[in-house]
Chain A
Amino acid sequence: MEKLLTTPSQTIGPFFAYSLTAEQYGYNFTSIVNDQLLTGETTAERICITGKVFDGSGKTIGDAMIELWQADENGHYRQPAIEKTNDGFIGFGRMGTGTSPGHSFNFYTIKPVALNGQAPHINVILFMRGSLHMLTTRFYFSDEHELNDTDPLLNSVEPGRRSTLIAHKKMAGGEPVYEFNIFMQGENETVFFKL
């Protein structure tokens, strides 16, 4: 079959919030997903993901949109459609960085498990004004040294840059919080993927 030309990407621009993250920003439109990747009960470990996005001058970016997509406690990505109300693990979240004073994003989820030889990880999709094409990456967990050491994707990253894909564990109010900062440029420039 003949291949078609793919539709070019364009920037998300600064004004996405009233459609894509309306409830978070207080606009009069519904949101289909938010910062909660889980619903109700889970036997897995609940965690919080937090982070900021930094530009090449070290400033935090206040008009980025982050999506997370991860497998559930059994290592499966959600297959049933996401509905208005959901049972079970959603695994997909979306937040803009424009509503917290420090431009941080915060997601509530479970810690994923190792599967098929891959260390636990969460996929990240990133959009912002000034970015003409989506950027994707993923992060691993700082308390999973052994699994991280054998992860094929992490191992294919040049050693000096692997640390840019690690979320760092800290405790806040007795709850585990993993911090994953994204650096667009500079010494710690995050490793982004070519799909």
Chain B
Amino acid sequence: MIHVENLDLNTQPPHLYPEYKSTILRSPTKPLMPVAEMLKEVSLPAFGESVMGKFDNDLTKNARVSHDPIGERIKVCGKVMDEYGRPLKNVLVEIWQANAAGRYVHKEEIHDAPLDPNFVGGGRMLTNSEGRYQFYTIKPGAYPWGNHFNAWRPNHIHFSVIGHQFEHRLVTQMYFPGDPLFEYDPIFQSVPQHARHLMIAKFRMDWTDAEFALAYEFNIVLNGSSKTIFE
């Protein structure tokens, strides 16, 4: 058995989690080198509004060919913050997901579920001056994968976040409340139990667009405090 030093952030998964089989040959076996102090001054790039397409934050529209995509339309809203809860503005949030049937557009995806000609499942946005982001999409379906016999991923939306400092880089997945697949999914289970709720969006009846789309709240807390928020 290979032993790997966990990140000292106790909400984070280990690099090696053997139940998620692909980690076995792809996780470092040697301790990570603590260099935070030496990388303190390293930033991350900022992005401007011009890189955003008109419907990049509306996945129900950004690949529409002839009809609206099939599935349950939802709105996902949230705030990106540093560890002290201070909002981070101009943070790039990129998302990708399966369609309502649990099928990804990716060419190597082989799950036998239909593609939706009006849905791709990619999007992006910048957080506003209050650190908030929002997008519309179709609720993604569950799908099987090859990790073990009859393995299924819970419904989820992938997030990639680029904040202001080097340690503000995060890739994660947002899950939906009450998913019965949580207890069977090694990717979800790889996170320490007390921190798993941080990956589950909150249903927000009060934020729904009446008679149009149900709403979910997913807040994101990035590693490290921010130097730039008071500018």
Question: Which residues of A come within 8 Å of B, CB atoms?
Answer: 1-20, 22, 25, 27-30, 32-33, 55-57, 59, 61, 67, 69, 77-85, 90-92, 123, 125, 127-136, 152-153, 156-157, 161, 184-185, 189-195
Across the interface, B96 reaches (CB within 8 A) one of A16, A32, A80, A91, namely A16
- Known contacts A19-B121, A156-B33: A7-B221 contact under CB 8 Å: yes
B221 touching A27 by the CB < 8 A rule?
no
Q: Which residues of A contact B48 (CB under 8 A)?
A: 81-84
Across the interface, B221 reaches (CB within 8 A) one of A5, A59, A194, namely A5
State the interface size on chain B (CB cutoff 8 A): 85
26 A-B residue pairs with CB within 8 Å: A7-B198, A7-B219, A10-B191, A12-B171, A15-B158, A18-B96, A19-B95, A22-B122, A25-B107, A27-B122, A30-B53, A82-B45, A83-B47, A123-B42, A128-B26, A130-B25, A131-B23, A132-B14, A133-B12, A134-B169, A135-B15, A156-B33, A185-B29, A192-B28, A194-B33, A195-B224
Q: Which residues of A contact B35 (CB under 8 A)?
A: 153, 156, 193-195
Q: How far is the CA of A69 from the CA of B177 in the complex (A)?
A: 36
Q: Which residues of B contact A20 (CB under 8 A)?
A: 94, 96, 122, 160
B33 touching A192 by the CB < 8 A rule?
yes
B94 touching A19 by the CB < 8 A rule?
yes
Q: How far is the CA of A11 from the CA of B50 in the complex (A)?
A: 29
Q: Could you give, for residues 147-191 of chain B, a 1 whenever the CB lies within 8 Å of some chain A CB and a 0 otherwise?
A: 000000000001010000011011111000000000000011011
B166 touching A123 by the CB < 8 A rule?
yes
Q: Which residues of B contact A90 (CB under 8 A)?
A: 45
Across the interface, B172 reaches (CB within 8 A) one of A8, A30, A83, A130, namely A8
- Give me 16 other A-B pairs in contact (C-beta within 8 A), A82-B51, A184-B26, A184-B28 excluded: A1-B85, A7-B220, A10-B187, A12-B171, A15-B96, A15-B105, A18-B121, A19-B96, A25-B107, A28-B120, A59-B25, A81-B90, A129-B26, A130-B27, A133-B15, A135-B28
B195 touching A14 by the CB < 8 A rule?
no
Q: Could you give, for residues 26-52 of chain B, a 1 whenever the CB lies within 8 Å of some chain A CB and a 0 otherwise?
A: 111111111110110011111110110
